[in-house]
Amino acid sequence: MPAGPPQGSVTEVPEFHFATGTVAFPGDAPKVVVSLGAGKLTKAATLKYRLEQRNAEADFFPASAASGFLYFQPGDSAQAVAVPIDWQRVPPYAQYQVQLQLQGFMNARTADQSADVALTVFGVPEGTCPPGTARGKRVATTNSLGMQWWQGGNATDKSLTGKF
């Protein structure tokens, strides 16, 4: 009896996953990296992907960029999915999340990452607070990524931008 899985078993098909925790700030051109996670890539593999905006009030990337295919060849270990953000549609208070749905299309399978966030989009530059908020002795707010900011100051003063 040969060692290892039987020929043609699912464990012979390479498994791919995406990196979580990518962040984007105004002006960035973010990419989500998709990598070979398990198995060996011995022949061409194709993945189908779809980007989904989880909690945005406005569409901030074009629908034409929301889906596509990734093509892997033997020797490839990673590729990136570009997320072309229209920063004019991202308000300063934004903290939007993007999910990446992967599907094995040819000679590929994918890890279950249906609940994972691939990209978080912020509406202000790194290290600053949204207008109307300030670092101060008010209420500390922590988001799901463990980032903390202070809410306080004059909320009607839209020019107020604090630093972390």
**Are 89 and 17 found together in one domain?**
yes
Do 118 and 135 lie in one domain? The reply is no
- Domain around 23: 10-125
Hey, which bits of 39-126 come out as E strands? Answer: 45-53, 67-72, 78-82, 95-106, 109-110, 119-122
Is residue 67 one of the residues assigned to a domain? Answer: yes
* Residue 2, in any domain of the structure: no
Shared domain check, 91 and 15:
yes
Look at strands 45-53 and 78-82 and give their pairing: unpaired
With contact defined as beta carbons under 8 Å apart, do 25 and 83 qualify? no
**Alpha carbon distance 115, 146 (integer Å):** 18
Q: Is residue 101 domain-resident?
A: yes
pLDDT along the chain (164 residues), means of 10: 47 87 93 92 93 79 86 94 91 89 90 89 84 58 56 40 41
Looking at residue 56, what is its pLDDT? Answer: 65
Would you say residue 3 lies in a domain?
A: no
Residues 85 and 159 in one domain: no
Within this chain, do residues 87 and 18 fall inside the same structural domain, yes or no?
yes
Residue 160 confidence (pLDDT): 38
Region of residue 10 (left: phi > 0; alpha: psi -120 to 50; beta: else): alpha
**Model confidence, pTM:** 0.71
66 and 111, same domain (yes or no)? yes
Query: What pLDDT is recorded for position 58?
Result: 67
How many domains, in total, are found in the chain? Answer: 2
For residues 115 and 150, the answer to whether their CB atoms sit within 8 Å is no
Which tokens go with 100? 């990446």
Q: Are residue 133 and residue 116 in the same domain, yes or no?
A: no
